């Protein structure tokens, strides 16, 4: 896969995600977003960093129209997020939630992966093919008929990714993908994400993971995008990091990770 973050204004394909001037206040009056501008080009992997309460989850819920923008617009591959497009938008934006138990609500893995495509109208062998492919992509094919709660946490997270991949989304949005994973599952998931030829927006606190997987990072702080640039240089900017309550793990030096590691 090629990383083309240098030229986001390419005319040919519309960017996978285009957020502009997005502001939002919750019904109780608490305002979470104050004008977010973010463009993610097709095929990019972008890390969305930010301290607790920065509005990350609120932003994510706007991407597939669960929350409706108070001001500003969101477009996915050129299609604006609006009531009339919701079905298509939700197919295009695949959100993997933090707790796989919330995401895997069907009695078996297979049915869970089939849920999205089936809701979009797929039936029969076409549906089966989708399920098989998606489970293959995350290496969980042999677990198709197991109930989700019989899987380990890492396996459940992988199945959660598959449920979204089965919908052939334009962009994969991961909410804290590495949380609660042991190092091996963490690495396995990273391998899977790297192998996918798909746009990824990764919301995370896990800075080394962001550096490992995403060449570009943005910092969401106090409801706006406070910084946007190559992940390595953002993480290396100690002043910027401290200003937004972001801390690297003890002993971790972002310069020690070779950029070649990012795009295999």
Partner 1 sequence: MGAGHAHKLYRHGHSPVHELPPHCKLAAVFCFVIVVVSTPREAVWSFALYGVLLAAVAAVARIPVGFLLRRLLIEIPFVAFALLMPFVVPGHQVRYLGLSLSVPGLWGAWNVLAKGTLGVCASVILASTTELRSLLLGLQRLRLPSLLVQIASFMIRYGDVITDEMRRMSIARRSRGFEARGVRHWGVLAKSAGALFIRSYERGERVHLAMVSRGYAGTMPVIDEVTASRAQWTRAAALPLSALAVCLLGWTL
The site for partner 1 (CB under 8 A) is made up of 61, 64, 66, 87, 90-91, 93, 95, 97, 99, 101-103, 105-108, 111, 114-116, 118-120, 123, 127, 147-149, 163-164, 167
Query: Min. distance of Cβ 91 from partner 1 in angstroms?
Result: 6
Residue 217, phi-psi category: left (phi > 0), alpha (psi -120 to 50), beta (remainder):
beta
Measured CA angle at 58 (ends 56, 60), to 5 deg: 70
Of 167 and 241, the one with the shorter C-beta distance to partner 1 is: 167
Collect all residues with Cβ–Cβ distance below 8 Å to 248 and sequence separation of at least 6. 207, 208, 235, 241, 254
245 backbone dihedrals φ, ψ, rounded to 5°: 55, 40
The dihedral through the CA atoms of 148, 131, 113, 207 has a sign that is positive
Q: What is the DSSP letter of 83?
A: G
Query: Min. distance of Cβ 27 from partner 1 in angstroms?
Result: 15
Of 103 and 155, the one with the shorter C-beta distance to partner 1 is: 103
Of 61 and 224, the one with the shorter C-beta distance to partner 1 is: 61
Q: Rounding to the nearest 10 degrees, give the CA dihedral for residues 135, 136, 139, 141.
A: 60
In contact, 138 and 157? CB cutoff 8 Å:
no
Query: Min. distance of Cβ 63 from partner 1 in angstroms?
Result: 10
Structure tokens at 76: 């996915």
Query: Min. distance of Cβ 241 from partner 1 in angstroms?
Result: 31
- Interhelix angle for 124-137 vs 109-119, to 10°? 120
Of 91 and 216, the one with the shorter C-beta distance to partner 1 is: 91
Of 150 and 261, the one with the shorter C-beta distance to partner 1 is: 150
Of 66 and 129, the one with the shorter C-beta distance to partner 1 is: 66
Query: Min. distance of Cβ 172 from partner 1 in angstroms?
Result: 12
Query: Min. distance of Cβ 229 from partner 1 in angstroms?
Result: 29
Query: Min. distance of Cβ 62 from partner 1 in angstroms?
Result: 12
Rounded distance between C-alpha atoms, residue 80 and residue 68, angstroms: 12
36 backbone dihedrals φ, ψ, rounded to 5°: -95, 130
Tracing tokens 């042999």 back to the chain, one arrives at: 142
Rounded distance between C-alpha atoms, residue 114 and residue 159, angstroms: 11
Of 108 and 222, the one with the shorter C-beta distance to partner 1 is: 108
């Amino acid at each position: 896969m090629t990383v083309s973050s240098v030229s986001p204004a390419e005319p040919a394909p519309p960017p996978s995600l285009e957020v502009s001037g997005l502001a939002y206040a919750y019904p109780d009056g608490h305002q979470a977003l104050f004008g977010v501008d973010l463009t993610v080009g097709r095929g990019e992997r972008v890390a969305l960093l930010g301290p607790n309460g920065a509005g990350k989850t609120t932003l994510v819920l706007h991407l597939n129209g669960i929350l409706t923008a108070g001001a500003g617009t969101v477009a996915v591959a050129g299609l604006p997020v609006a009531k009339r497009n919701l079905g298509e938008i939700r197919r295009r934006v695949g959100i993997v939630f933090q707790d796989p138990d919330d995401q895997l609500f069907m009695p078996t893995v297979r049915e869970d992966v089939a849920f999205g495509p089936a809701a979009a109208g797929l039936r029969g062998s076409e549906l089966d093919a989708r399920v098989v492919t998606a489970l293959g992509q995350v290496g969980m094919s042999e677990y198709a008929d197991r109930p989700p709660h019989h899987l380990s946490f890492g396996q459940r997270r992988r199945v959660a990714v598959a449920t979204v991949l089965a919908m052939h989304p334009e962009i994969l949005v991961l909410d804290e993908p590495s949380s609660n994973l042991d190092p091996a599952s963490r690495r396995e998931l990273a391998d899977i994400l790297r192998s996918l030829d798909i746009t990824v927006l990764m919301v995370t606190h896990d800075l080394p993971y962001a550096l490992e997987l995403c060449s570009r990072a943005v910092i969401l702080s106090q409801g706006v995008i406070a910084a946007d640039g190559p992940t390595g240089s953002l993480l290396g900017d100690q002043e910027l990091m401290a200003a937004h309550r972001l801390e690297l793990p003890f002993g971790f030096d972002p310069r020690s990770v070779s950029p070649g590691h990012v795009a295999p």
